[in-house]
Amino acid sequence: MRKSRIRIGLALVCVMSGAAVALGAGCSGIPETFENECNPDTHFPAPICVDAGTDAPADAGTDGPTADNGRCPTETHTCVPLPEGDDAIFWHADPPLLVWIGENVEGEENQPKCLPNTAPAVQARMFSDLVAPPATCDSCSCKPATADCDPVPTSITIRAGTCDDPSAPTLPFDGPAGWDGSCTAANALPQGAECPPGSGVPCLQSIEIGPLPPPQNEKCEVDVVEVPKVTGLVTKWQTTSLACRGVTDTSLCDDAGKMCLPEALFPNRICIWREGLHTQCPTNYQGEPARWMYPEKVKEGRGCTECACGAPSGGACVSSLRLFQDGACSAQFMEKTTASLGGDCDPIFPNGRALGGKETSPAMYMTGTCEASGGEPYGEAMVDVENAVTFCCRPSYVFAG
C-alpha cells in the first residue's frame, strides 16, 4: 500500500436527468494537502491511486489542459473554484472525475463508458436507490406423523348383565401384568359360571373393552429441509454512476484557488466528493442536495425462517381383540376392533358361554396431521454505508459561454 499527497480537487458529474441552471460562481479557497493511503481494496480509491485506462492517452492523468498563452482555454475549459468552508479539506478528487449518473438499465450496450479525451480512466462504478424486496421462500411441509402404539386395551371387563345396566356384577378379564397381547388364558371363565355363585345369573352376558392407550412418542418431522431455500432474492439499483478520472491544472487560472477544467455543460456537473455520508456541502458547492452513492454489493440480511412442525393432532392407535372358548386360543368366537379413541361394550351370545383365552393383533397408528410453520421471509438488504461516497455539485451550464 502506497501513500500519496492528495490535493483537494473536483469531480465532473454527468447527470442524465433533471434540469440545470447556469449560475455564476467565484471563490478563492486555498488548496491544501493531506496524506491518504492507496488502499487497493477500497470501493472508491483516491484518484491519484488509479492508473489510466488502457484506452487513455500515454500521459492521461498527468498533464492538465494547455494553451499557447499559458492560460485556461475558455473555448473548451473553465476555471472552477476549490471547495470552501470549515471542512473543505476533506472534500477532494484531484485529478477531477467525470461521473455519469442516471437510470440503471440492464444490458452492456446501455452501460456508460469513460470518455478517452476528457476522463479516460475508470475510477469506480457506484449505485443508489436500492430496490430489494423481501426474500421469497419455499413453503414448509411436514412428513406424516409417527408414533408407537400399545395393542393391549386399558381394561377388559366381564359383565353379568346388559351393557346399559350399571348395577350388573362385573369380573376382570385383563391379561397378566406386562401383557404384550399374545395368547393368554388369564382370568378365564368356565361355561355356566354364575355371578354371584348360585344366583342363576350367568356371568358372561356382555363384555366391556376399554380404549387402547394413546399414541406414544407421537411426532412430525420437517419434510426435505429444515431451512427452506430462498427462491427469490431480488437486488436492483435504480440509479447507477460511472466515475472517470480526468485531468486538472491550477497554473492556468488567474486565481490560484481555481482549477482549469473541461466546460461542464448540461448534463455534466462539476462536483467534489468525499468518503462517507454527509448532508452539508461546502458553501460554494450547494447547487443541489448532497448525493449519496454506494458500492454495488449490498449487506445481505434477507433469509427464510426455519421450518418446524407442530404437535400431531387427530392420530390414534387401532388394534383388535380376539376372544376364544379355550385357553389355547384355537376356538375363536368373537373379534372386536379396539382403538385409543374410546372403549365399547358388546353383548355375548349365548349368555354364560365359556371364555377361555384372548389375544390382540398388532397395533397400527392412524396418522395424525401436523401444522407446518416457518418459511417466512425476514431481514433486508442494506446499502454499504461504510464505503459510501458523497458528491456535492455546482449547477451545470445549459449553454457554453
Instruction: Specify whether the backbone of 323 is left (phi greater than 0), alpha (psi in -120 to 50) or beta.
Output: beta
Burial call 12-51: b when 16+ CB within 10 Å, e when fewer: bbbbeeeebeeeebebebebeeeebeeeeeebbbbbbbbe
Tens place of pLDDT for every residue, the chain, 401 residues? 444 333 333 444 444 333 333 323 333 332 333 344 566 556 566 545 555 444 444 444 444 455 444 688 888 787 888 888 888 888 875 656 777 878 999 888 888 887 776 667 788 899 999 999 999 888 899 999 999 999 999 999 999 999 999 999 999 999 999 999 999 999 999 999 999 999 999 999 999 999 999 999 999 999 877 677 777 788 999 998 887 776 667 788 888 778 887 776 666 677 888 999 999 998 888 888 899 999 999 999 999 999 999 999 999 999 999 999 999 999 999 999 999 999 999 999 999 999 999 999 999 999 999 999 999 999 999 999 999 999 888 776 655 44
Quick check: is 222 in a domain? yes
Grid cell of 180 as nine digits: 404384550
**214/304 same-domain check:** yes
Place of cell 407446518: 372
**203/313 same-domain check:** yes
**114/28 same-domain check:** yes
Among 11, 23, 42, CA closest to 276:
42
Would you call 66 helix, strand, or coil by DSSP?
coil
Give the separation between CA 199 and CA 214, rounded to whole angstroms: 39
**223/144 same-domain check:** yes
**351/205 same-domain check:** yes
Count: domains in the chain = 2
Quick check: is 50 in a domain? yes
Quick check: is 401 in a domain? no
**49/147 same-domain check:** no
Give the separation between CA 94 and CA 10, rounded to whole angstroms: 6
Q: Is residue 204 a contact partner of residue 352, using CB atoms and an 8 Å limit?
A: yes
Burial call 106-118: b when 16+ CB within 10 Å, e when fewer: eeeeeebebbeeb
Quick check: is 347 in a domain? yes
**170/38 same-domain check:** no
**152/279 same-domain check:** no
Quick check: is 398 in a domain? no
Q: Residue 229 has what pLDDT?
A: 74
Q: Residue 309 has what pLDDT?
A: 94
**8/95 same-domain check:** yes
DSSP labels for 277-316? ---PPPTT--SS--EEEB-SS-EE--EEPPPEE---BS-E
Give the structural domain span for 365.
Answer: 139-227+300-382
**215/292 same-domain check:** no
Quick check: is 113 in a domain? yes
Quick check: is 400 in a domain? no
Would you call 387 helix, strand, or coil by DSSP?
helix
**283/203 same-domain check:** no
**277/367 same-domain check:** no
Q: Residue 31 has what pLDDT?
A: 34
Give the separation between CA 327 and CA 188, rounded to whole angstroms: 7
Quick check: is 399 in a domain? no
Give the separation between CA 317 and CA 337, rounded to whole angstroms: 11
